Amino acid sequence: MKVGVIMNGVTGRMGTNQHLVRSLLAIRRQGGIPIPGGEPIWPEPILVGRSEAKLRALAGEHDLPLWSTDLDACLGDSRFPVYFDAQATSVRVPAVQAAIEAGKHVYCEKPIASDLGSALDLVRQAQAVGVKHGVVQDKIFLPGLAKLRRLRDAGFFGRILALRGEFGYWVFEGDWQVAQRPAWNYRAEDGGGIVLDMFCHWNYVLAHLVAPVTAVSATAVTHIPERVDEAGKRYRATADDAAFATFELEGGAVAQLNSSWATRVFRSDLLTLQIDGTEGSAVAGLRECWVQHRTTTPRAVWNPDLPREIDYQRAGWQEVPDNQVFENAFKVQWKLFLRHVACNGSFPWTLLEGARGVQLAELGLRSSRERRWLAVPELEV
């Protein structure tokens, strides 16, 4: 069952690595997506972008025959019912709008827009036309977070009290070391900024693991005011590169999440989350997860005058087994979306969920500017 997919912005880091190579091409290597009683779903990508040289090279590297610099022509081609967008945030909205107008089912990276108004316009347009739509929410499919959800669903935590998390790493400034992220990430006028990037993640991660966010207090800062772009040219960083936030959640739990592209990692992973509950606690990274039940919690005694007697990172902690094979998080969600398109499978991560992420990012930035707590109202479409 062939499903043509227009992949716009696929020559970028995320588009190439996570969405093309580790998702669609990996699905093809597995023989497609199995469907009970039917032929497997077989994604047929056409690579779309602005650089003919990059597209030709990428297509040749992976033995793909279809690529184009003409997005309008691709949108008019009935062989490709799905449009995927992995472009820079600043150019995403008009392309997604054009895809919806062409009757394509749309699936796109987050954030779906740079502002809430534009995000809601996309939701309304997709609903009016009747196309299927979705947004990438990959973090919930990571093995470590999947284990946290498994623990929550099993009642391991008891009443959840709090979640705290650390995300980030040092992104080189681009002068003596090449930056790991594109320059537009650090320009607000191009849709950059860690708040817009990561709060779209935190919105669905918190809702998935604990409860939806009801209020936010945030501080956004730009630690590195000047960087060097891919062409070796210095530029002023106009977007935030770190954010420190507290979230109130439905039911009374509190979450604290630090996000930074200007921190050096001294923890077990680039992302670590800890959930504390009345019955137990758990700490997860991208893949691993460790738990400590109330019955194995050591008695901590505060005495800085004596050498530490307890290894707090190991005493009473037990690793959660995999108990299943975990696939690439992006690939898992791609399979679900393609089943949604081809077979009407369930897919709750719609553009509306993407808009909720943009809403939280806007409120986080506003909270930082105004230096106060802000409630998160329910969105009306």
Q: What is the CATH number of the domain that holds 195?
A: 3.30.360.10
**Domain for residue 300, yes or no?**
yes
pLDDT at 312 (0 to 100): 85
Same domain, residue pair 87 and 231: no
Tokens 């392309």, residue located: 95
d(CA 2, CA 78): 12
Q: Which residues contact 9 (CB under 8 A, 6 or more apart)?
A: 15, 48, 49, 85, 86, 87, 88
Are 43 and 155 part of one and the same domain? no
pTM: 0.95
Assess whether 163 and 101 both reside in one domain: no
Indicate whether 284 and 207 sit together in one domain: yes
Looking at residue 313, its pLDDT comes to: 81
Q: Which residues of 7-37 are buried (b: 16+ CB within 10 A; e: fewer)?
A: bbbbbbebbbebbbbbbbbebbeeebbeeee
Considering the domain architecture, whether residues 134 and 149 belong to the same structural domain is answered as no
Could you tell me if residue 188 is inside a domain? yes
Establish if 52 belongs to a structural domain: yes
> Given this model, what pLDDT does residue 38 score?
87
CA quadruple 238, 239, 245, 250: dihedral, nearest 10? 130
Domain that holds residue 266: 141-325+360-369
Verify that 97 and 209 share a domain, yes or no: no
Query: Would you state the structure tokens that stand for residue 243, as one six-digit string?
Result: 């954010």
Q: Both 290 and 364 in a single domain?
A: yes
Q: Are residues 121 and 222 in the same domain?
A: no
Per-residue pLDDT in tens (0 to 9) along the chain, 381 residues = 999 999 999 998 899 999 999 999 999 999 999 998 889 999 999 999 999 999 999 999 999 999 999 999 999 999 999 999 999 999 999 999 999 999 999 999 999 999 999 999 999 999 999 999 999 999 999 999 999 999 999 999 999 999 999 999 999 999 999 999 999 999 999 999 999 999 999 999 999 999 999 999 999 999 999 999 999 999 999 999 999 999 999 999 999 999 999 999 999 999 999 999 999 999 999 999 999 999 999 888 888 898 888 888 877 899 999 999 999 999 999 999 999 999 999 999 999 999 999 999 999 999 999 999 999 999 988
pLDDT at 311: 85
| Residue 165 · residue 258 · CB < 8 Å | yes
User: Do the beta carbons of residue 62 and residue 56 sit within 8 Å?
Assistant: no
Residue 161 forms part of a structural domain:
yes
Same domain, 129 and 162: no
Paired tokens of 285:
């990274």
Asked if 215 and 248 touch (Cβ cutoff 8 Å), the reply is: yes
Residue 352 lies inside a defined structural domain of this protein: no
In a domain, 294, yes or no: yes
Residues 211 and 300 in one domain: yes
What is the Cα gyration radius of the chain? 22
Is 312 inside any structural domain?
Answer: yes
Distance CA 92, CA 118 (A): 10
| CATH code (residue 100) | 3.40.50.720
Same domain as 311, residue 336: no
Alpha-carbon 154 to chain mean position: 25
376 inside domain: no
Same domain for 301 and 336, yes or no, is: no
Give the total number of structural domains in the chain.
2
Q: What is the pLDDT of residue 376?
A: 98
